[in-house]
Structure 1
């Protein structure tokens, strides 16, 4: 842990920016957080009712182990803030029966506790024919907007933290980390992190691809309220095997979507109601829940997320001697934000160029 206290400048008060600010503040550094809107920003890609935390990637066991560590970091943040925002109900993924042995072996190699779930035990969810569920017992659901509010409240109480909402950054100099604000104001720091989600494309020149997705929020029938409260998040379901759901609980609605509603975009836009209705209908045609006619559509939301153009993954990239950029947003940003926060703190004392997180 460094003894010299540094100045940290965080551009973007989404989950990555806020967790990095918390980690650096705990280490005694001086942190300034900027956001173009309120803090937390209800228009950010981080702000939503809930986000999934799962770890298993059968193609990357090292990444699976790292995400398992992130799960424990969220539990630590609950203890730090004295608030509950992590529903540890588990996460299920549906796999063809022929693949289950390989999936279970991968989980064991990554030291992840899992168990099989028969589709009949979750009758209100539609699993594809011939599939079995694999439950990650340590996975769960983050109450995302509540978590952001809790983190902001904690940061507000720290004397070495300054939160500056309504500060639209005009430019970032990657060579110096200097941040330029309106009215010719500029800010310098020992380390600058750009974590503005889809808006990062306007500030840093690294290859990124913007995607757009439609989310549908449902109210289940009253008779199934108790069953849904106990239900984990579920992925790889629906007609295409590319749909997923996050269960209702603690005041949240049932959220469903599918990769079939994911499309590349050039900029962040609101979209017309008719356009989003069409995408929502495509999501609902995926047969994600049993007896869908019993569910009420409460809201439809358009979201955006950013990935690395070359790998399709999220990265933490060093773009200058003391300037870093995060290519991630949305659900993946939540899964990996605790790891990014650790890397940013480490970057104050060690030299590493890039991390796939």
Structure 2
């Protein structure tokens, strides 16, 4: 089957890999470079985990997702994953720990609550103000995102996948499997749109389900007194309303990154990607409340990224017309799960599963495989 994939983030590249493994003829179209450095997939590192709170269906997917990543490591020849574990800082009592521990028990993933002494020794950089619990989990770490995307690009180019960079798709004919480029229409048997935050430009009818959201990230140089602790740190997630943020430590050639997970529901993906002081107001406040000596951290890069998001943070896999599908992650947790979700879509394209089954499963309402 001749298949066009529109968008070359982790969704598009992992789908192209899954389809090419199954013997399909695949072309990937991207409006920028491949990989595109302004896509939401492009980054030094991204978090992966089994801890998902009330989103238990996605927690149950994670063992399969880790196995799918193992297949990618085999294909590209490198395991771009640091299993550093994760620590969750709980400053306000809620149901998240109870829901998460139930899922981890079910999955057999190790976890424990740190004592105050263990917390202060292991994470001296984290403020202990109002901390009620500190949950440390296994089955978590960092995916080195840009290295993964580059590795997939190399594999695809070596396996007869056409990579059409700087080739924006202007329109999709979902009923006839066609896309319109600057020089006219080209046709395939099937079109799959994996365009991330740009998906609404191509499929405006999804506006009732999705919103673009501008998210802020800071790369920091920690002060000398915490430099050693950060190099040995796990991924850190602060769940409190005032200090909500995630921190990925400087490991294996990466920098310390602290990001804001609170959706802004504003902006457009073609807007400038240099985060403004206004963009960073909430994140800087969270860092000041969550980390000791926060004023001593040097900001070495500020960045804005975009997601197409929905309030429930669930994946969309949807058929549009007779010859097109769309995949949208709808949250910052998309990177870790995308290769598994696109494998499911590739199975549906090959008739191994029904599209309704994959749609329901990706949404999180059916976790049976």
Q: What's the TM-score once normalised by structure 2's chain length?
A: 0.86
User: Which residue number in structure 2 is paired with residue 155 of structure 1?
Assistant: 156
- Cα pair distance change 1:111/1:128, threshold 3 Å: farther
Q: 1:59 aligns with which of 54, 59, 68?
A: 54
Sort the Cα spacing of 1:282 and 1:339 in 2 relative to 1 into closer, same or farther, 3 A.
same
Question: What CA distance in whole angstroms lies between the structure 2 residues aligned with 1:239 and 1:308?
Answer: 19
- Provide Cα deviations, 1:144-195, integer angstroms capped at 9, x if missing partner: 1111111101111113x11111110011122232211111131312x32101
- 1:65 aligned counterpart, secondary structure: helix
Q: Which residue in 1 is equivalent to 2:277? A: 277
> Which deviates further from its counterpart, 13-22 or 119-128?
119-128
Which residue matches 2:246?
244
Among candidates 191, 203, 216, match of residue 214 of structure 1: 216
Alignment of 1:289-328 (within 5 A): 289-308=291-310, 311-328=312-329
Q: Is the 8 A contact 1:171 1:179 kept in 2?
A: yes
The yes-or-no answer on 1:84 pairing with 2:87 is no
Moved more, 121-130 or 63-72: 121-130
Provide structure 1 residue ranges, at least 5 long, that are not aligned to the other structure. 1-5
Cα distance in 1 for residues equivalent to 2:111 and 2:315: 25
Q: Is the 8 A contact 2:17 2:156 kept in 1?
A: yes
Contact 1:128 1:238 in 2 (8 A): no
- The answer to whether 1:107 aligns with 2:108 is no
Alignment of 1:135 with 2:148, yes or no, is: no
- Name the residue aligned to 1:227: 229
Change (3 A) 1:199 1:116: same
CA gap of 1:292–1:241, structure 2 versus 1, over 3 A, is closer
| Corresponding residue of 1:352 | 355
Q: Report what 1:203 is aligned to.
A: 202
Alignment root-mean-square deviation, CA: 2.4
| 1:29 alignment partner in structure 2 | 24
Secondary structure, in 3 states, of the residue corresponding to 1:279? coil
Size of the alignment, in residue pairs? 347
Return closer, same or farther for 1:126/1:315 CA change in 2, 3 Å cut-off.
farther
- Give the alignment's TM-score, normalised by structure 1: 0.89
